[in-house]
Amino acid sequence: MITLEGITKVYKNGPLEVQALMPLDLHIEKGEFVAIMGSSGSGKSTLMNIIGCLDIPTAGSYELDGDPVQSLSEEELSRVRNRKIGFVFQSFNLLGRQTVLQNVTLPMMYAGISREKRNERALELLGRVGLAERVKHRPNELSGGQKQRVAIARALTMNAPILLADEPTGNLDTKSSYEIMELFKEIHADGTTIVLVTHEPDIAEHADRIITFGDGRILSDKRKGSVSL
Ligand code: ADP
Ligand code: MG
């Protein structure tokens, strides 16, 4: 599903250069639930943005579900991203002036899906994440955990095969974090490939495979119930 080979990332700001990713190889199969764990500044978000086609690597090759990402045009890349990737962020990234329902229907509006169909799909997803009673509320009327549920429902609208989550529990208390991880497990059980970034070992434990990251490198790569790879 995801194959990275020799991926590096160097950020250049004038004469300043930061090498955020060292040459890195990573393969993630369809249907995996992977946690990438590492301290702040270790390059986790840089890697996620490359996997999510939000940023391009400095070098290396990336194949996403059969598509050679590095040789796609901007237009093809944005199509691949919209079709294949759902993204969830630490800060939820909801639109404050829009209702919960509107926030969830937005990606479908961009995709040209009719109002009737997008409302139907959004209501179905909001029911699934336990927010059927909150569809007319605005984000500032919700708890952190509820906001993240809205963001997850929005990420699922296009039936993307891959869900990427960058510190999705970073702004949540322990109980809400646990509930969000239970929701990710349900989504994974339905067949979605999930890659989740966290700096918290307790959160990473929910995944089937834990990749530990440090200074832009993979330090360890372990599958549940097996020895180190
Ligand atoms: P993490 O998500 O693990 O905290 P990041 O991927 O955000 O780590 O950052 C990795 C390194 O790259 C850090 O040293 C950070 O300061 C640097 N970095 C991240 N984004 C940029 C940027 N846009 N410009 C310059 N340096 C950056
Ligand atoms: Mg980060």
Residue 225 confidence (pLDDT): 73
For residue range 11-31, list pLDDT tens digits in order: 999 999 999 999 999 999 999
Confidence (pLDDT) at 224: 87
Judged against a pLDDT cut of 60, whether residue 9 lies above it is answered with yes
pLDDT at residue 228 is higher than 70: no
Range scoring the smallest mean pLDDT among 65-69, 127-131, 174-178, 225-229 = 225-229
Ligand nearest to the CA of 55: 1
**Minimum CA distance residue for ligand 1 atom 27:** 11
Name the pairing type of β-strands 33-38 and 209-214. parallel
Task: Decide if 79 contacts 110 (C-beta within 8 A).
Answer: no
- Is the reported ipTM for this assembly greater than 0.90? yes
Q: Is 67 exposed, middle or buried (CB count within 10 Å of its CB: 0-12, 13-18, 19+)?
A: middle
Tell me the best of 7, 24, 45 to mutate to test the pocket of ligand 1, counting ligand atoms within 8 Å of each CB and taking the most.
Answer: 45
Report residues whose beta carbon is within 6 angstroms of any ligand 1 atom: 11, 13, 18, 20, 38, 40-46
The arithmetic mean of pLDDT across residues 106-116, rounded, is 93
Q: Which of 46, 47, 58, 167 to mutate to test the pocket of ligand 1 (most atoms within 8 A of CB)?
A: 46
